[in-house]
Amino acid sequence: MKLSTFLFMFLLFVSTITTAQDGKALFDTKCKSCHNIGGGKLVGPDLKGINAKHSQEWLINFTKNSTALIASGDKAAKAIFDEFGKMPMMAFDMPDADITAIFTHVKSLSSANTTEKKKNIIAPPPAPTGNAENGAKLFDGSVSFNTGGAACNACHSAGAFPGGTLAKDLTKSGAAVGAIMNSLPFPAMKAAYQDKKLSNTEIADLTAFLKKAAVDKEEPMPCLGFPIGGAILFILFMIAITIIWRKRKKETVNKAIYDRQK
Ligand code: HEC
Ligand code: HEC
């Protein structure tokens, strides 16, 4: 083998390794807070086997600007967007090569053995069980955060708690609070909390509050009881009337005939 060929191969080899590692580092810092590779869905879908599902070009377009791809009428992008509660994934302004490296990493983990996949699952931070009442106060700002960060209702509402409309209602987002507050993937939230990190207790309290808000929202039973009970009573009433009415009618008619024949 010529020396130049050897050097070329060697450089190729080294660059492949670096790209693969960059892909892992990039994935871990930019994507892992919302995506597992084989560990089930987090904020976003599990990316295991995504390379087989979409072309490289599609993956790059989606990552760079999923909103534009959805707006262009792309069916697959629209479907996954709908499936995830129409929460847009933010745009990642990075070179194609970086995105390619990320998906090369995703591909290699997709086909890796189970033990490797397991390692990739992010366990939710071991949070103490939160206090929903404290969480509500933190949410609406009647108690401030230890580092003085903005109250969540500056941008979000949550169930019966009104709030800003800059961001979505958090009633069903309780499970995501830990991951979101630790990674701050949204620019608006990053700006608000980057230097004002919440404590684990505060995160746990907010989580408890939002989980409770979601349960409260799904409890229309007392209201349902009334119309259903009413309907049953109404039917019973109608049956009773029919029976009474029938008897009466029979009696009168029979009696009339009987009387006539006499
Ligand atoms: C803050 C959370 C979040 C982060 C961070 C994030 N994503 Fe997403 N991602 C989502 C959500 C939510 C969806 C579901 C699609 C939608 O709602 O638009 C999604 C969907 C996707 C899809 C489409 C999956 C499919 O099954 O079609 C790809 C590909 C993807 N993300 C790649 C990435 C990459 C690459 C990164 C890192 C550079 C990343 N995402 C970072 C939330 C996130
Ligand atoms: C400066 C505005 C702002 C503040 C303050 C803010 N957020 Fe957000 N948040 C956003 C934006 C923007 C998004 C992106 C999604 C959207 O558009 O709703 C978001 C998204 C989220 C999500 C992801 C939603 C989901 O369904 O996955 C969670 C969870 C969340 N915020 C929790 C909080 C909590 C808890 C607080 C208070 C500690 C808070 N946010 C304060 C702007 C804000």
Taking the CA of 57 as reference, the closest ligand is 1
Taking the CA of 167 as reference, the closest ligand is 2
Question: Stretch 221-245: mean pLDDT, rounded?
Answer: 69
Pocket lining: 35 vs ligand 1, CB cutoff 6 Å: yes
| Chain segment 164-205, per-residue pLDDT in tens | 888 889 988 888 898 889 888 888 888 899 999 999 999 999
The percent of residues in the chain predicted with pLDDT above 70, rounded, is 75
Question: Between vectors from CA 105 to CA 35 and to CA 11, what angle results, nearest 5°?
Answer: 155
Taking the CA of 173 as reference, the closest ligand is 2
| Chain segment 110-161, per-residue pLDDT in tens | 887 544 444 444 555 454 588 999 999 999 999 999 999 999 999 999 988 8
Q: How high is the mean pLDDT of the chain? A: 82
| Chain segment 234-261, per-residue pLDDT in tens | 788 787 777 777 666 555 666 666 677 7
Pocket lining: 98 vs ligand 1, CB cutoff 6 Å: no
- Please report the atom of ligand 2 found closest to the CA of residue 174: 29
Taking the CA of 190 as reference, the closest ligand is 2
* 191 CB-near residues (< 8 Å, 6+ apart): none
Pocket lining: 84 vs ligand 1, CB cutoff 6 Å: yes
Question: Stretch 95-124: mean pLDDT, rounded?
Answer: 74
Pocket lining: 81 vs ligand 1, CB cutoff 6 Å: yes
> 93: closest CA among 75, 66, 70, 73?
66
Q: Is 219 left (phi over 0), alpha (psi -120 to 50) or beta?
A: beta
Ligand 1, residues 22, 32, 34: which to mutate, most atoms within 8 A of Cβ?
A: 34
- Please report the atom of ligand 2 found closest to the CA of residue 145: 38
Residue 116, pLDDT score = 43
CA distance readout (Å), 213 to 86, 139, 177, 203, 218: 20, 12, 14, 15, 9
Distance between CA atoms of residues 244 and 97, nearest Å: 84
**Ligand 2 centroid vs 74 CA: distance in angstroms?**
27
| Chain segment 30-62, per-residue pLDDT in tens | 898 889 999 888 888 999 999 999 999 999 999
Residue 114, pLDDT score = 47
**Ligand 2 centroid vs 166 CA: distance in angstroms?**
9
Ligand 2, residues 89, 90, 189, 195: which to mutate, most atoms within 8 A of Cβ?
A: 189
Taking the CA of 55 as reference, the closest ligand is 1
Residue 210, pLDDT score = 92
- Please report the atom of ligand 1 found closest to the CA of residue 92: 38
Determine contact, residues 178/200, Cβ cutoff 8 Å: no
Protein residues whose CB sits closer than 6 Å to any atom of ligand 2: 43, 87, 150, 152, 154-156, 166-168, 170, 173, 176-177, 180, 186, 188-189, 192, 198, 206
Higher pLDDT: 165 or 95? It is 95
Residue 18, pLDDT score = 54
pLDDT tier for residue 98 given thresholds of 50, 70 and 90: very high
